[in-house]
């Protein structure tokens, strides 16, 4: 099993409902366990700014799927939840990005790991650091690098919307 970190975001429709449904579906993917979920953060859109605010979170998974199979699973979940790709950085019902997959590096047309825009996005780094796991030397070094990326960014208006414990209870159906 490999530890994978994902970023999820939604800015159309029932944003909390979309995040909750996406995480429940991720937890049901074969060979995959949902280990941790961050709090939910409300954020300003980036890239294309004339659209509604986003809700974002991060998840830590343990998976036996190789990276491209995990990408296919996240793509199916996006499609099931009504994701349509009309414009880059445009509004969406759900967006699921694989940020990190163990220590693997992938550089292909469909998937790049680590996620190439992660260092630019506080809405990715803040929840990612919240769900970060591992105390080994490699994990500590990687966490320090993520923290340095976040510290180098200006304030991007990322604000806590729902704490991680409450959100995880919602995902698990305990309210």
Residues recognised as catalytic: 83, 92, 95, 97
Residue 152, Cβ density class (10 Å: 0-12 exposed, 13-18 middle, ≥19 buried): exposed
Question: How far is it, in rounded angstroms, from Cα 43 to Cα 41?
Answer: 6
Taking Cα atoms as reference points, which of 119, 4, 123 lies closest to residue 59?
A: 4
DSSP H helix total and E strand total for the chain:
5, 8
| C-beta of residue 6 within 8 angstroms of C-beta of residue 96 | yes
| C-beta of residue 38 within 8 angstroms of C-beta of residue 130 | yes
| C-beta of residue 10 within 8 angstroms of C-beta of residue 52 | no
Q: What does the radius of gyration of the chain's CA atoms come to, in whole angstroms?
A: 15
Measured on CA atoms in the order 17, 77, 131, 116, is the torsion positive or negative? negative
């Amino acid at each position: 099993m490999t530890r994978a970190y994902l970023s999820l975001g939604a800015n159309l429709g029932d944003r909390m409902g979309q995040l909750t449904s996406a995480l429940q579906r991720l937890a049901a993917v074969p060979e995959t366990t949902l280990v941790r979920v961050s709090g939910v953060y409300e954020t300003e859109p980036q890239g294309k700014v004339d659209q509604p605010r986003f809700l974002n979170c991060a998840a830590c998974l343990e998976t036996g799927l190789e990276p491209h199979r995990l990408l296919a699973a996240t793509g199916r979940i996006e499609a099931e939840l009504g994701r349509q790709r009309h414009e880059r950085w445009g509004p969406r019902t759900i967006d699921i990005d694989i940020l990190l997959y163990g220590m693997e590096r992938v550089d292909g047309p469909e998937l790049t790991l680590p996620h190439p825009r992660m260092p630019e996005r506080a809405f990715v780094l803040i929840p990612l650091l919240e769900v970060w796991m591992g105390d080994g030397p490699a994990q500590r070094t990687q966490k320090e690098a993520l923290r340095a990326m976040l510290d180098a960014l200006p304030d991007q208006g990322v604000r806590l919307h729902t704490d991680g414990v409450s959100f995880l209870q919602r995902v698990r159906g305990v309210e």
